[in-house]
Structure 1
């Protein structure tokens, strides 16, 4: 069965599901895997079990993390079950995918703490009523050595060394621990345990996900299909979105922050963001991508539509519209943020502005605040603060709007304010 069947062979009721679920996928393996699994579930009158493994290694999710979660939500919207496999065991091993050195192992307590923060954010995307959460420590933590060794016979060292990250490290004589070799095997065992029909992941997870197919086949299960999604580029339009590069947008960012960051991305990736980060239909994404490619006013309108769509997902339409209005007030019309949150001025007639910027959260430190002033990024009531102008009279600041980069602002209040 292949994905290019005629409508007569493939039930029309499933056609839209196949179209939406395959849209934006980097790869579907095997090529007829999604079709076959949809047909199997249809024949058996049951929802698909769609697996996503998460090994929490931090506490903040970005739009990059959300790409695969959005795809998982699409499966839920068509009536299928999301199976989240928390890496209570594998998180202590550390996923070697894309790594150039051995990942530092986490403690069980760290995994649990990170997982809780993850779930608070994940459930802003997924439907809790169609989500099954399991912890692989339940089976991996109690599995006998003999049983694990039985699984190892399905995977060769040569296959492992075909992985790009392992092959590079091996060629460079960099150490690869045996636990890292075990990681794809353990992830594959998860698929057997949860009886996954489909496994989702980023393109960096392709090898790990395919291992699950082999292990399921060896245990008499129908092998899962694998659907991978592209890795989202950051706001620079070049590098993969990541917190270490500062080119990320967090799903916990405020509506204003999300909208402002999205308006900074290059026109060339507006279509990609619409495809991977919104709930737009394939037809809507195609129209928006064409508009972005046209440049000029059309591209600006396309970017705004994408930004509103993203912010709406996480904050609702009223908040998205308000964020766009505030963005225009600051950037388009040059107005001040009259509703900027208050910040307290320190005592004294002479105020050290870098310290105020740092205390108000507009700069990470006083030294960074001085650099912002020298770069011309700081204004008081719309008036530029000159370079090296660090100390100002209190009267020049009290009840004024202090702005950094025209997007982050506070209203300075005196002791009575």
Structure 2
């Protein structure tokens, strides 16, 4: 493929692109680009927000370029300050290693493992002496570091910034030096870190990397960025029915954005949907069902996508209960809070209380209002938590 076509594919849906001239120069030389993504395995699960960047990496692979996935087993122990209003807690080595294995497994749902070079940044960062760290930090000024938006806000609010947080972007930049990155990709919240990488490569006598940022997608609430912390995420490993239902819960305003960034639906088809939504010739719900089907199909296959869609229609349009539910063995007399904990679908008693107080829990279609209500279970009752979680109760 000629460099103009490659360039168009690479730049599609991007936000920041620094610089176009650098990309054209490297593509014209027919160089196989080393495309870097650095990930700190601070959590074990990935969601559609991560898919946006991973799908762009897959495009690079399909164009014949080399993706270098850097697992930040060292930097995760510092904690990325990007977008943080306070210092991020450091992780243990054991936590990082466990999360890293889960991250790799899930990333390969999108990336081609045969075309992905996996590196751990402890490989070089663990070996730096204190002199090396001083030399590294001499290439960047405190004034430039404080230009960073989140640091500037915290400084203005007299909130603490640790020296270790200043070291984070320098460590990420040194990763680019060590693998000689041609391109580094990240979300828009990573722009500062990626630009530090360009500066550091120049300081070490390398050509500065091309910086490419992708949009950050909002979660199912339609306001905040997708994050497990905000409980508005759609995880790679969500069950098909749950994944389908979560997609169907997004605001209509996000349908086209999700289609462009999280699916392989062709742009021409998306433009058709966009036109139909503008002239009100189609119900947005029908387009959202196409979106939900495509996302479930990508992660779970067509058969499970069909199942999820049929179950969704049955539960939400026909107001039936699903054919398949997990069975939970419970005592004949149990409090509402303890019953929810038995399902393993809530993480704590406080979450169980919150759901009950919000009116999100029903037993045989009767709303449970009191978290401490003592329930009498005879067997074969249906417990419903929220809109999509159903359990059949059994007793000894």
Q: What does 1:289-300 align with in structure 2 at a 5 Å threshold?
A: 289-294=274-279, 297-300=282-285
Cα pair distance change 1:178/1:328, threshold 3 Å? same
8 Å contact 1:337–1:401 — kept in the other structure?
no
What is the CA RMSD across the aligned residues, in angstroms?
Answer: 2.7
Give 2:366's aligned residue: 384
Give 1:27's aligned residue: 16
Q: What does 1:211-230 align with in structure 2 at a 5 Å threshold?
A: 211-230=196-215
Distance 2:345 2:74 in 1: 40
Q: Does 1:404 align with 2:390?
A: no
Cα pair distance change 1:386/1:103, threshold 3 Å? closer
CA positional deviation for 1:384: 3.3
Q: Does 1:249 align with 2:234?
A: yes
* Secondary structure of 1:79 counterpart: coil
8 Å contact 2:69–2:117 — kept in the other structure?
yes
Q: What does 1:235-384 align with in structure 2 at a 5 Å threshold?
A: 235-294=220-279, 297-347=282-332, 355-361=338-344, 377-379=360-362, 383-384=365-366
Distance 1:90 1:121 in 2: 20
CA positional deviation for 1:54: 1.1
**1:15-67 CA-partner distances (Å, limit 9, x unpaired):** 44322321211111123343333333x2x4xx211001111112222211222
**1:117-159 CA-partner distances (Å, limit 9, x unpaired):** 2112212221110111111122122124444444434322221
CA positional deviation for 1:163: 1.0
Distance 1:351 1:309 in 2: 40
Equivalent residue in structure 2 for 1:180, among 161, 165, 174 = 165
State the number of aligned residues. Answer: 395
Give 2:99's aligned residue: 114
CA positional deviation for 1:206: 0.8
Q: What does 1:76-155 align with in structure 2 at a 5 Å threshold?
A: 76-155=61-140
Distance 1:354 1:157 in 2: 51
Structure 2: runs of 5 or more not aligned? none
* Secondary structure of 2:60 counterpart: helix
TM-score for the superposition, normalised by structure 1: 0.85
Give 2:217's aligned residue: 232
Cα pair distance change 1:91/1:353, threshold 3 Å? closer
CA positional deviation for 1:69: 1.4
TM-score for the superposition, normalised by structure 2: 0.90
Structure 1: runs of 5 or more not aligned? 1-11
* Secondary structure of 2:53 counterpart: helix
Equivalent residue in structure 1 for 2:143, among 158, 165, 172 = 158
Distance 2:104 2:267 in 1: 28
CA positional deviation for 1:311: 1.3
Distance 1:37 1:66 in 2: 26
CA positional deviation for 1:277: 1.3
Cα pair distance change 1:93/1:403, threshold 3 Å? closer
Q: Does 1:37 align with 2:26?
A: yes
Q: Which moved more, 1:154-163 or 1:143-152?
A: 143-152
Cα pair distance change 1:285/1:37, threshold 3 Å? farther
Distance 1:146 1:346 in 2: 63
Cα pair distance change 1:394/1:133, threshold 3 Å? closer
CA positional deviation for 1:229: 0.8
Q: What does 1:60-79 align with in structure 2 at a 5 Å threshold?
A: 60-79=45-64
Flag as ranges the 4+ runs of structure 1 deviating above 6 A: 365-368
Q: Which moved more, 1:146-155 or 1:68-77?
A: 146-155
Q: Name which one, 1 or 2, has greater alpha-carbon Rg.
A: 1
8 Å contact 1:37–1:225 — kept in the other structure?
no
